[in-house]
Each structure stands twice: as C-alpha cells, then as structure tokens.
C-alpha cells in the first residue's frame, strides 16, 4: 500500500471530555471526538478501514482496527467532506489518539490517510 497521501485527504479533529458519562472515582474518563475528513484532491476516494492507537497517561496502548467508521465507508468526491462523532474511554484523565484510514481511489489505488495525534484531556488537567 502506498504510504503517502496522494489524494490530499485532510483530517481535522475536535475532542471533548464528557463529564456526565465519566466516573473518575473508578478511573473511567469518557471522551468524544469529532472527525472531519476533507477531500482536497482531484480524485474521489473511499474510506475502507480505520486503525487507531489510543494511549492513556500511564502509557497503556490500545489498538482498534475495523471496517469503515461508525458503520459507514464514505465515498468522497473532490471537495466533499464527511464528519462523524465517536468516543473513547480511558483509565486516566489525559491521553492521546492517532491512527490512519485505509482508503482507495476510484481507479483502485490504495493509500493511507494519516490521522494526526490529538489529545484527550479533562479540562484543568493541562496548564
């Protein structure tokens, strides 16, 4: 698989701590994240699979792999965007996520779109 991103797929992330769903007394910290995938290239592409690496403040890593995102395998024409929200549960109030989407353009060439590292943090944890 081609490791670069010839399609100019841009990925933006916003994360949010969900205090109502978290239970700090039992080390359960719940976060949501909203991903926006933008096709800034000149060719259409389809998202096939996801690969996440989720790391908590203790250095514990969890890998998540699977087909598509939220049960979908979006097809993005040039200029189109796809947005979805999902979640993660950590044992610490601070952590990070990063990963990649396996994608394929319409003429069958696979490539990876890297998801930049982003933090998951309870407000007030970082100065």
Please list the rounded mean pLDDT of every run of 10 residues in the chain (127 residues). Answer: 64 97 97 97 95 97 96 96 97 97 95 96 80
Q: Looking at residue 124, what is its pLDDT?
A: 85
Phi, psi of 24 (to 5 degrees): -55, -30
Q: Looking at residue 2, what is its pLDDT?
A: 43
Q: Looking at residue 126, what is its pLDDT?
A: 65
Q: Looking at residue 6, what is its pLDDT?
A: 56
- CA atoms within 13 A of residue 117's CA, in its CB half-sphere: 7
Determine if the pTM surpasses 0.85.
yes
Instruction: Check: CB of residue 94 under 8 Å from CB of residue 57.
Output: yes
Can you give the residue ranges of every domain in the chain? Answer: 9-120
Select the CATH number that applies to the domain covering 9-120 from these four: 3.50.50.60, 3.40.50.450, 2.60.40.1470, 1.20.1250.20: 2.60.40.1470
What DSSP letter does each residue of 36-88 carry, written as one string? EEEE-SSS-EEEEEEEEEEEETT--EEEEEEESBTTB--EE-TT-EEEEEEEE
Q: Looking at residue 103, what is its pLDDT?
A: 97
Buried b / exposed e over 23-56, threshold 16 CB at 10 Å, is: eeeeeebbbebebebbbebeebbebebbebebbb
What is the rounded distance in angstroms from the CA atom of residue 122 to the CA atom of residue 113?
28
Q: Looking at residue 105, what is its pLDDT?
A: 94
What is the rounded distance in angstroms from the CA atom of residue 62 to the CA atom of residue 119?
15
Tell the residue number behind the tokens 């549960």, with chain if given.
89
């Amino acid at each position: 698989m081609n490791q670069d991103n010839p399609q100019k797929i841009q990925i933006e992330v916003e994360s949010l701590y969900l205090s109502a769903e978290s239970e700090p007394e039992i080390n359960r910290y719940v976060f949501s994240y909203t991903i926006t995938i933008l096709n800034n290239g000149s060719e259409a592409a389809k998202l096939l699979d996801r690969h996440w690496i989720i790391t908590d403040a203790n250095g514990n890593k969890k890998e998540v792999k699977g087909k598509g995102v939220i049960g979908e395998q979006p097809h993005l024409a040039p200029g189109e965007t796809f947005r979805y929200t999902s979640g993660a549960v950590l044992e610490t109030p601070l952590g990070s996520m990063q990963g990649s989407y396996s994608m394929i353009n319409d003429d069958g060439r696979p490539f990876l779109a890297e998801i930049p590292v982003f933090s998951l943090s309870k407000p007030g944890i970082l100065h």
